[in-house]
Chains A and B, each alone.
Chain A
Amino acid sequence: GQGVEQPDNLMSVEGTFARVNCTYSTSGFNGLSWYQQREGHAPVFLSYVVLDGLKDSGHFSTFLSRSNGYSYLLLTELQIKDSASYLCAVRTPNYNVLYFGSGTKLTVEP
């Protein structure tokens, strides 16, 4: 089966940082994507990683450890508007289908 796990909720404070964790156990691995989804809107692509290590994309950074089946999305200098759900999705070799976690709802407080 395809297991992608994320915590349900995360709270942080404006101006600080938040780390959204994702663990996975899938039949094969062909990369991991992160999406942002605001209430009532479609998921929006943020990042894709396939190699181990940290990928810095400015406001968003992503880390991957394939041996541990683990990734995180790091948001720095948080703003209130970063409040949203963040979805982790594993891309399998099976024709690149994405298997999503249930998403982590991030709330950024003043």
Chain B
Amino acid sequence: NAGVIQTPRHKVTGKGQEATLWCEPISGHSAVFWYRQTIVQGLEFLTYFRNQAPIDDSGMPKERFSAQMPNQSHSTLKIQSTQPQDSAVYLCASSLGGGLGSYEQYFGPGTRLTVL
């Protein structure tokens, strides 16, 4: 079991460019979560998929951010027209599902995004 895989590990973009982050959840996990972590804000929830369907995107900035899960083996987080304040570590996590017994989330190593 390779755990949750995230690529790239580091990404540097110029202001105004687009960034796409990739996540491969643990095989058999039906829930996928995206978080953003900064020193100032801590670890913030962005969005959540279950069985590939978007369930809750209440943490996503309404403009420029979008997430998809086209199949059970990967999810993407896309940031259009990146801004310096988007600089953060973006973490993906997966769990068995949304039931009471599936409380443990397994985190990937994260993608450190730096917007110059």
- The reply on A69 being an interface residue by CB < 8 A is no
- The reply on A12 being an interface residue by CB < 8 A is no
Measured CB to CB, the nearest residue on chain B to A87 is: B43
Partner of B42, one of A31, A41, A100: A100
Interface size class of A (residues with CB under 8 A): 20 to 34
A96 and B43 contact, CB distance less than 8 A: no
- The reply on A67 being an interface residue by CB < 8 A is no
Partner of A99, one of B45, B55, B105: B45
Interface centre among B42, B48, B108 (most CB of A within 10 A): B42
Shortest Cβ gap from B88 to chain A (Å): 14
How many chain B residues touch the partner (CB < 8 A)? 26
Q: How many A-B residue pairs have CB under 8 A?
A: 55
Chain B residues with CB under 8 Å of A95's CB are 48, 50, 55-56, 98
- The reply on B22 being an interface residue by CB < 8 A is no
Chain B residues with CB under 8 Å of A30's CB are 100
Chain A residues with CB under 8 Å of B109's CB are 41-42
Partner of A31, one of B43, B48, B103, B108: B103
A43 and B48 contact, CB distance less than 8 A: no
6 residue pairs of the A-B complex, CB under 8 angstroms, read A31-B100, A42-B109, A45-B105, A48-B104, A98-B45, A102-B43
Given contacts A42-B107, A102-B42, 5 further A-B contacts (CB under 8 A): A48-B104, A94-B56, A95-B98, A96-B31, A96-B102
